[in-house]
Homo-oligomer: A and B are copies of this chain.
């Protein structure tokens, strides 16, 4: 999981349904993780996909401008275009401003961290 910087910051929530087409998908996904992590304002990323092909990737960014700059990255654009031609059946993308955040881990004990 991603680190917990102090809010406010931004989240890009990308929810997608995969097609059965796998041609190069894993390689592209790994490359986008690597490339995103090298961009200005990148704070972290979390990703999961279930057996039903529905996946959620949330990336975290310092500002909306950082998100816009990442969107303009040429290699990212090619990946998105291939996503629409080959890999995704449908997707939604939301940009949201994180206002509050907290975490819990087992070693802290079972009490509510926000009680």
Contacts and interface: CB of A to CB of B under 8 A. Distances in A.
A112 B58 CA distance: 20
Question: Chain A interface mostly helix, strand, loop or mixed?
Answer: strand
A39 interface: no
Contacts of A11: 11, 13, 94, 96
From A97, A104, A105, residue with most partner B Cβ within 10 Å: A104
A28 interface: no
B90 A1 contact: yes
Interface residues of A, number: 46
Contacts of A51: 51
Contacts of A106: 19, 84, 88-90
A27 to B, nearest CB: 18
A110 B84 CA distance: 5
Interface string A1-34: 1101001000101010101000000000000000
